[in-house]
Amino acid sequence: MQDYLDHQQLAPFFEMSERYGKLYQKMVDMLEKLDPEELDRRSDRRAAIDELPAGTLASMWVDIDATSGASLCNSDGSGFGIEEAVAGHIRAIEAWLDSLDAASRN
């Protein structure tokens, strides 16, 4: 099995999945901190997202380009790599979470 995964070069995608999983947990923790009742509404909100037309973004935070202010392509059309885009996306969301946390303490 490991040989197959190595051959398919899936390790970077598993790493990204782990990083986004940790970020998702931070977002859930922040929701619980800001409004404990929000988690009770979670299943209703997920159901509403499932009802959106195909291709509709549920949140701008899903859009790497919009969130990080970057693009996967340089002005000359060459790409700079998904790793850099993911890192910028995660940094932007973490900065947003930090600002929410700071505001909740004031």
Joined tokens for residue 97: 């979470």
Distance separating alpha carbons of residues 30 and 63, to the nearest angstrom? 20
Of residues 63 and 33, the one with the higher pLDDT is 33
| Tens-place pLDDT, residues 44-85 | 888 888 888 887 777 767 777 777 665 555 555 555 677 888
| Percent of the chain predicted with pLDDT > 90 | 18
Task: Give how many domains the chain has, as a whole number.
Answer: 1
What pLDDT, on a 0 to 100 scale, did the predictor assign at position 99? Answer: 93
Mean pLDDT calculated for residue range 31-54: 84
Beta bridge pairs of residue 73: 79
pLDDT confidence of residue 73: 56
Range of the structural domain that residue 60 is part of: 2-105
Which range is least confidently modeled, 30-34, 73-77, 81-85, 101-105?
73-77
